[in-house]
Structure 1
Amino acid sequence: MSAELQASRRDATLILTLSNPGAKNALHPDMYAAAIETLATAERDSSIRAVVLTGADGFFCSGGNLNRLLENRTKAKSAQAESIDSLHSWIEAIRDCPKPVIAAVEGGAAGAGFSLALACDLIVSGTSAKFVMAYVKVGLTPDGGGSWFVSKALPRQLATEVLLEGKPILAPRLHELGVINKLVADGTALDTALEWADQLAAQSPNAVERIKSLVQEAQTDTLAQHFESEKKNFVESLHHRDAQEGITAFLEKRKPQYK
């Protein structure tokens, strides 16, 4: 079987599964195109409230396929550049998706696989999972936003260590540092992520989308800029039908039912 991105549904959650049997779900450009298209469809589908990204066969993703990269050395540099552009478009699609995206990690996440996990809004991980940016071990530098995400998620000295040494950092350490949201028993990451997705699906879709956008903007906004963005989003949310339902449900002591 070739590398592919498998899509399935469970209630209001879209499940995307990285699958590349025998290669620890190594990435391939075909996955990038499928992911971008699928996320675009999810954005337009109001019945989808959350997305879970996971890997098949007990492993999240081993990153790039070194044999394919070695083959690309015989081609024009533009071939690899185009492939990286596609990967980056996938990362951007995850960040820009209005629905919350949860990574369910088992086994390990390496290279661009680590980047994919970090691109998600939330991370659930099995206790023994390992995360590594080992580009330096084979004379390469990060792609997929790896150096950006690691530098944002970790203190500068630790980010430098992770990138320069290329050694694994274990899930419990990342959980202590606040990078992983939920640390769970091995083999239960997907179930936990799906349960969490169900909880998020019960929230106001309008508020969830706007909050995700605010968190994204906060990465680069000044406080003054963010004040304006918060004001705009609050006013728009107050006059949205979800606020009518949410406030009324709270006052009536019942669970809100968002459409």
Structure 2
Amino acid sequence: MNILQIHDRTGVREVMLNRPSRRNALTLELLSALSDALSTPDTVRALVLTGAPPAFSAGADLSELTGTAADVEFDDAVERTVRCIRSSPAPVVAAIDGPCIGAALELALACDVTVVGSNAFFEFPPLKLGILYNPAAIQRMHRRLPRATLARLLLAGDRLNASEAVASGVATHFASELSALELAHDIAERMAHFDHTALNSTRRLLRELDAEERDLSAYTETRTTLLNSPLRREKLARRRGSNGTA
């Protein structure tokens, strides 16, 4: 079974994470395949990113994590994929139903438009695993989301349902009449007919307005210490034993 399914329609490419038995948990292989799929020919004018039911993605596949600082390799892979989404030659519309957890939420936030179905929910598990989440990712989220939303996700460990996700800025559209995938395709097809130069110039301007940077070296050092801690390994082993994903 292909871990990524790609379907090209006229002007629109659908990219589906396809590990349903693992709730589409993210592996290095899957992230690499996704990055490659985002390099589209000129005939593709918009992309839809989704996950095979019953999930968008449950986040990192914990079976690939070591419980040490070597796990920054996974962070690096997520970073590369986020960059590919943000620099995609075509706008990317996420269609989300079911869980969207941890690194999967990073991918969703990198998309230009995020559509949620009634069963969608969003959650960040780093404190449950005893770690500081990737500082570069937190910086991006801080630019993208209201401070109160970050407090709910990162500090309180709240789970946001579909309506809360739209209200808090995590998602842009709630699919009340169509499925998330159907509405995402409707939006992608509309975007595919916009003037390509005008659309991508607007996308680029929005990215540049988001681009404030800060020195993250001290936080990166703290994160490395936490990644190597015995408590983190214990929490990771316990969580891996329960469901194998973040």
CA distance in 1, matches of 2:109, 2:77: 17
Whether the 8 Å CA contact 1:115–1:144 is kept in 2: the answer is: no
**What are the Cα deviations for residues 21-53 of structure 1, in whole angstroms up to 9, with x where unaligned?**
22111001111211222212x0xx110000110
Tell me which residue corresponds to 1:115.
106
Secondary structure of the structure 1 residue equivalent to 2:42:
coil
CA distance in 1, matches of 2:20, 2:211: 39
Tell me which residue corresponds to 1:250.
none
Q: Which runs of 5+ in 2 are unaligned?
A: 213-246
Tell me which residue corresponds to 2:146.
155
CA distance in 2, matches of 1:145, 1:126: 28
**Of 72, 83, 86, the match for 1:92:** 83
Secondary structure of the structure 1 residue equivalent to 2:44:
coil
Whether the 8 Å CA contact 2:94–2:114 is kept in 1: the answer is: yes
Give the alignment of 1:67-216 within 5 angstroms: 67-69=63-65, 72-73=66-67, 77-78=69-70, 80-143=71-134, 146-185=137-176, 188-216=179-207
Alpha-carbon spacing, 1:150–1:171, altered in 2? closer, same or farther (3 Å): farther
Alignment TM-score, normalising by the size of structure 1: 0.75
Alpha-carbon spacing, 1:198–1:145, altered in 2? closer, same or farther (3 Å): farther
TM-aligned CA deviation for residue 83 of structure 1: 2.9
CA distance in 2, matches of 1:188, 1:157: 29
CA distance in 2, matches of 1:141, 1:21: 28
Bigger relative contact order (CA 8 A; separation at least 6): 2
CA distance in 1, matches of 2:87, 2:135: 15
Q: Which runs of 5+ in 1 are unaligned?
A: 222-259
CA distance in 2, matches of 1:197, 1:206: 16
Whether the 8 Å CA contact 2:25–2:58 is kept in 1: the answer is: yes
Secondary structure of the structure 2 residue equivalent to 1:215:
helix
Whether the 8 Å CA contact 1:17–1:53 is kept in 2: the answer is: yes
CA distance in 1, matches of 2:64, 2:34: 20
Whether the 8 Å CA contact 1:119–1:149 is kept in 2: the answer is: no
Question: 2:21 matched to 1:30?
Answer: no
Secondary structure of the structure 1 residue equivalent to 2:22:
coil
CA distance in 2, matches of 1:218, 1:206: 18
CA distance in 2, matches of 1:194, 1:109: 19
Tell me which residue corresponds to 1:15.
14
Whether the 8 Å CA contact 1:58–1:187 is kept in 2: the answer is: no
- The percentage of aligned residue pairs carrying the same residue is 30
How many residue pairs get aligned? The number is 212
Secondary structure of the structure 2 residue equivalent to 1:22:
helix
Alignment TM-score, normalising by the size of structure 2: 0.79
Equivalent position amino acid for 1:92 in 2: R
Report the more deviating stretch, 138-147 or 180-189.
138-147
RMSD: 2.1
Whether the 8 Å CA contact 2:143–2:210 is kept in 1: the answer is: no
Tell me which residue corresponds to 2:43.
47
Whether the 8 Å CA contact 1:13–1:197 is kept in 2: the answer is: yes
**Of 43, 46, 52, the match for 1:56:** 52
TM-aligned CA deviation for residue 187 of structure 1: 7.0
CA distance in 2, matches of 1:141, 1:67: 20
Which segments of structure 1 move beyond 3 Å, counting only runs of 4 or more?
143-146
Report the more deviating stretch, 162-171 or 148-157.
148-157
CA distance in 1, matches of 2:27, 2:211: 31
